[in-house]
Structure 1
Amino acid sequence: MALRILIADDHDMVRETIAMFLDADGGTETVAASDLPEAMAKIEAEGPFDLVLLDYTMPGMKGLEALPKVMKANEEKPVGLISGTATRLIAEQALAMGAIGFLPKTLPAKSLVNAVRFMAAGEIYAPVNFMSGKDDPEETDFEKALSERERQVLRGLMEAKSNKEIARDLELQEVTIKLHVKTLCRKLDARNRTDAAMIARSAGFI
């Protein structure tokens, strides 16, 4: 019997990427929602799900405020958080409130699929490196090929941000970001920005 998983995230690319990895693995059936009201409506209409994944910053979440509400709606079945920006402290608070786990959006694809299966089985999941605060200090070959600015832009792409949003975050001109994206695609041999983000995620870039 397939695991039924609801992925609630306001970025299409993030939802589609996670769903693609999970569906390719077989044995899972994913349903998508783009904000909290839609997620709640789907739980009410089609739930409870074997696992609900909530994006920490999507509309309606108000931080961790919505977590207990979703857990109750999903009839105490596992609810986990996904985030590209949440800190270790937020992850700890979510787990203390009863979340089944915490997934950084930068997790490599294989780890992501394993983590989802783990959580759907009722096991608590949080990446050890992330929770201990000692995320690999060593530079990987992947990172060595990129400048610090390129890494910052790539993180923005992994969070499915537009050039405009990345430019605002880094206090740069949009045209500069466009050039960096072009360079990144060339360096990573990526077809487009989505492909670049997927290559980075698979390489375990954080």
Structure 2
Amino acid sequence: MRVLIADDHDLLRDTLVMFLEAQGDITVHQAANLGEAHQLINAEDSFDLVLLDLNMPGMNGLEGLRVTLDMKGGQRVALLSGEATREIAENALEAGAAGFVPKTLPAKSMINAVKFMAMGEQYAPIDFMTALDDKPEHPLAEKLSPRELQVLKGLTEAKSNKEIARDLDITEPTVKLHMKTLYRKIGAANRTQAALIAREAGLF
């Protein structure tokens, strides 16, 4: 079985490669961005499965998935993500993805999912796909729009505007606009204060 993993987080990618190759019957190639993945797809024999990180460079949301699905050999392509919503997962499956794999999946489940998809089946974890989208109400969260909450979460993770923009597939000016409005709503003067307020409130 030949698998290609494309993810810009070196540690995560190396860990996945180690787990899969330990099975003994899986050969794993790896890429750090979509461009490298496409080069390997064009240069190598067909892969049984291509795993693409939703937020790595070059993906442009689900567009990278669609382009990869259309490449030579009709690759089976699955989406890998630590932050995607159920809606994104559903859209990926509708677009023809072989599956959706959360990065939070335990190693054994990840291996089983890869084998399942490589054999021609479509995979998505039932608990993720059936989970309620609405989080428990939180006084601070009620003040913010869903997008402002996502930006605030990025701030609590000490991400730059560029990283937040890439993760959410929006522009940096849009991130700055959301930051400005969320600062006003929660009474913060800057990004550090906003992150502290969110942490102290137990929002993330």
- TM norm structure 2: 0.66
Change (3 A) 1:168 1:73: closer
Kept in 1: contact 2:68–2:75 (CA 8 A): no
1:30-109 map, 5 Å: 30-109=28-107
Gaps of 5+ in 2: 136-154, 161-190, 197-204
3-state DSSP of counterpart to 1:21: helix
Q: CA deviation at 1:167?
A: 2.7
Identify the residue that residue 111 of structure 1 maps to in structure 2: 109
Change (3 A) 1:53 1:74: farther
2: CA distance, partners of 1:109 / 1:168 = 27
3-state DSSP of counterpart to 1:25: coil
Kept in 2: contact 1:49–1:74 (CA 8 A): no
Q: Which amino acid aligns with 1:20?
A: M
Kept in 2: contact 1:48–1:73 (CA 8 A): no
**Partner of residue 158 from structure 2, selected from 162, 167, 181:** 167
Change (3 A) 1:172 1:26: farther
Q: Which amino acid aligns with 1:83?
A: S
2: CA distance, partners of 1:118 / 1:67 = 19
Q: Once the two structures are superposed, what CA deviation does each residue of 1:118-153 show, in whole Å capped at 9, x if it has no partner?
A: 000010000000000159x9xxxxxxxxxxxxxxxx
Aligned-pair identity in percent equals 53
Greater relative CO, 1 or 2 (CA 8 Å, sep 6+): 1
Kept in 2: contact 1:5–1:30 (CA 8 A): yes
Count of aligned pairs between the two proteins: 144
Q: Which amino acid aligns with 2:131?
A: G
Q: Once the two structures are superposed, what CA deviation does each residue of 1:6-25 show, in whole Å capped at 9, x if it has no partner?
A: 00000101111111111112
Q: CA deviation at 1:71?
A: 1.1
Identify the residue that residue 8 of structure 2 maps to in structure 1: 10
From the CA coordinates, give the structure whose radius of gyration is larger. Answer: 2
Gaps of 5+ in 1: 138-163, 177-206
Kept in 2: contact 1:23–1:29 (CA 8 A): yes
- TM norm structure 1: 0.65
2: CA distance, partners of 1:74 / 1:17 = 28
